[in-house]
Structure 1
Amino acid sequence: MFDILTEEQRDFAKSIDDFCAREVGSVEKRAELASEGGTHSPEVYAKMADLGWLGLTIPEQYGGSDAGAVELCVLLEHSLKGLAPIGGIGPTLITAAAYQKFGSEEQRKRALELTVGGGTLSISMSEPGAGSDVAALRCKAEYDDDDNTWVINGQKTWCSNAHFADRILLVARTDSSGKKHEGITMFDVPADIEGLQITGIDTMGGKEVNDLYFTDVRLPADAVVGEVGGGWQQLMTGLNTERLILAAMQLGVAQRAFDDCLAFIKEREQFGRPVGSFQVIRHRMADLATEIEATRLLVYAVAKKIDDSDPNALFPREASMVKLKATELSKRVTLECMQSMGGYGYATEYGMERLVRQAVVSPIYGGTNEVQRDIIGKTYGL
């Protein structure tokens, strides 16, 4: 509605819409492509890789297009709006950005070329006792001087897509002598390494997250990503990317829910007229449409600010605001659209329930929205 994209960016958006209509097109086809309760289709993902879309923001030297955050938001919004079953894309792009910033040249080359080619990455931070308080993590990495390896022991949890990831970026404790934000280090871990057990967690959203059990997993000395003990600072610098990615994806979910509901209420009749003609529904849709447009402006404004700034600049207020706003929006839109569709919104045939399940978890992951509000408040000196 608002002219926030260039002509080239609008053409890119249309190409994604056309791709999704051709390759997915329906709720039934999406379920078929991402079978057995999964959220990811290697087939669709590989086709996106062939088009060069997965390397959109990756430097040209690693096979990418070196595009900006605005183009990334276009890709994510329109892919999710188009029902593309690419559950691996968010964690992969978030993790790839960390390798790009902090990895050695060998690590960057491996991870970024893997991403461009359709491989998947995952980042493992949370633990049973360390969720919102990530710095409370206890998974231990100890250096063995005898054979120059790091030995990993402990449990991680809620690790998105580890069950089909090629590599996992592990956040572990290497020193417990100082403050809890100190002594945290990132490690590059092959997903099939000996001693790592990956166990899926059943969720209402399908096969998305996992428990990871590390038992005497040995990593070479050069598996450290960035600086030993520098993991917390490295995590903080990735917030712009992570929270913007989550926001753009949930904007796409919200738009899809709105579009599907709008089509339904124009056709569905009760009391002799379309459901959408009743004032209570008409006003509800008007409010949702307004909120979607306002959120879209925020998402792309933050993306443009990131593109126009120093690559190392941090935007804690803006990153938290955009994640908070977009995820609260998607939850509200999907639930209200389900209500507007009545029993049909609850039926798997129409797909709204799938969108609800995608949306209701979004205020939790990537830092709960309670944490986002706290961060925003602190930026105002509160």
Structure 2
Amino acid sequence: MKTAEQHAFAEAVDDFCRAHAGTREQRDALSEHGQHPHNPGLYAACARLGWLGAGLPEAYGGAGGGMTETAIFAERIAYGLAPLGGFVTSMVAVGPYLRFGTEQQRKSVVTGAANGAVEAISISEPGAGSDAAAIRCRAEAVDGGYVINGQKTWCSNAHLADHILLVARTSTHGDRHAGLTMFCVPAGVAGLTVRGIPTMGGREVNDLFLTNCFLPADAVVGAVDRAWPQLMAGLNSERLILAATMLGRARRAFDDTVAYVRERTQFGQPIGSFQALRHRLADLATELACADLLVYDVAARVDADPETQLPREASMAKLKATETAKKVAIEGMQMMGGYGYTTEFDMESHLRATIVSTVYGGTSEIQRDIIGRSYGL
């Protein structure tokens, strides 16, 4: 159950989104007709209100809240269709710094994120997606630091980020999950090239090319060769933030569908009065309620014990929220007919946003595998 303060926070974010991104014209102006899912000016306004750091420690510019506050903000900006795409990657990226980074790294990265800087995280490579142990991007130890060579891909918001939390291979000995290390890569460092990948979602993801990119020894985040357990320690937050975001988008797609079927008439009556559609919407509403309960239950568990790892529950939240969001958008488009396919309505953007959510941050297949293995299967 959310507290009165958390409900008030959610309502304040809702009001902000309605005021600044409540119309299609406002959203088009902020995002260049959907091509840029992140608006720096709007993001800065949220930073001034203290919302970006709602779930971050006060010592680093945050408000001292927890995962529930972070989830609330992620859900509400997604529902409000506010182009603040840098929030998700920033909150995912700051987790390892909080858990394993040096005090200087925390002051720089975490405080920066609370104050409006965008952060990114880069794990995937052309040959290493779900199988992160296949990472080949190499960091070679040299006098005073490391030289990194290789390619990373699907790095969300690297073109906006102040830093990229990059995972590279520092050793090939032992278990295939061993020998990986996290590095804090500053934007614009010599030897780093960021190249956008065209997608249906506009300017979101990037290829990274690292050519003799030198990083000092203090760029290591945590322990050398220990990135894998460090990544595993952060899966609660990553999956919950993604789940909360898609919960918000699913709720918006549902509400847009309900509004349409109430107004659209065929055969002399609103199409929402037909049993076929009414029952579909009843099922979707039930699925949304289940997703909501799951997301915020897991968030509350994390807040109660931030050190606990909940691989089963976090994977369930990510799986349920993203698959539900995709289903709501597909059903919404079907119920809206041809209008759902036009860019005049938001349903086609709901579909584009939700379909990819079952891929990034660990595919639905990977989430199911984690859940199944948690039962010893």
**TM-score normalised by the chain length of structure 1:** 0.97
Report the equivalent of 2:18.
21
Report the equivalent of 1:86.
84
One-letter amino acid of the counterpart of residue 178, structure 2:
E
Q: Is the 8 A contact 2:48 2:115 kept in 1?
A: yes
Alpha-carbon distance between aligned partners in 1 of 2:371 and 2:184, rounded to the nearest angstrom: 32
Q: Aligned pair count? A: 376
Per the alignment, in what secondary structure is the counterpart of residue 171 of structure 1?
A: strand
Report the equivalent of 1:131.
129
Report the equivalent of 1:35.
32
- Identity among equivalent positions (%) equals 56
* Structure 1 stretches of at least 4 aligned residues deviating more than 2 Å after TM superposition: none
Q: 1:9 aligns with which of 6, 22, 28?
A: 6
Q: Is the 8 A contact 1:338 1:353 kept in 2?
A: yes
Alpha-carbon distance between aligned partners in 1 of 2:42 and 2:347, rounded to the nearest angstrom: 21
Report the equivalent of 1:347.
342
TM superposition shift of 1:234: 0.3
Report the equivalent of 1:360.
355
Structure 1: segments with no counterpart, 5+ residues: none
User: Matches of residues 86-235 of structure 1 in structure 2 within 5 Å?
Assistant: 86-145=84-143, 148-235=144-231
One-letter amino acid of the counterpart of residue 221, structure 1:
A
One-letter amino acid of the counterpart of residue 136, structure 1:
A
Q: Does 1:264 align with 2:286?
A: no
Q: 1:379 aligns with which of 363, 367, 374?
A: 374
Q: 2:314 aligns with which of 302, 314, 319?
A: 319
Q: Report the RMSD for the aligned CA atoms in angstroms.
A: 0.9
Alpha-carbon distance between aligned partners in 1 of 2:276 and 2:41, rounded to the nearest angstrom: 42
User: Matches of residues 279-298 of structure 1 in structure 2 within 5 Å?
Assistant: 279-298=275-294
TM superposition shift of 1:27: 2.8
Structure 2: segments with no counterpart, 5+ residues: none
Q: Is the 8 A contact 2:55 2:68 kept in 1?
A: no
**TM-score normalised by the chain length of structure 2:** 0.98
TM superposition shift of 1:105: 0.5
TM superposition shift of 1:94: 0.4
TM superposition shift of 1:35: 1.8
TM superposition shift of 1:98: 1.2
Alpha-carbon distance between aligned partners in 1 of 2:212 and 2:38, rounded to the nearest angstrom: 30
Per the alignment, in what secondary structure is the counterpart of residue 260 of structure 1?
A: helix
Query: What do residues 317-360 of structure 1 show as CA deviations (whole Å, max 9, x unaligned)?
Result: 00110000000000000110111111111111111111111100
Report the equivalent of 1:238.
234
TM superposition shift of 1:191: 1.5
Q: Is the 8 A contact 1:196 1:212 kept in 2?
A: yes
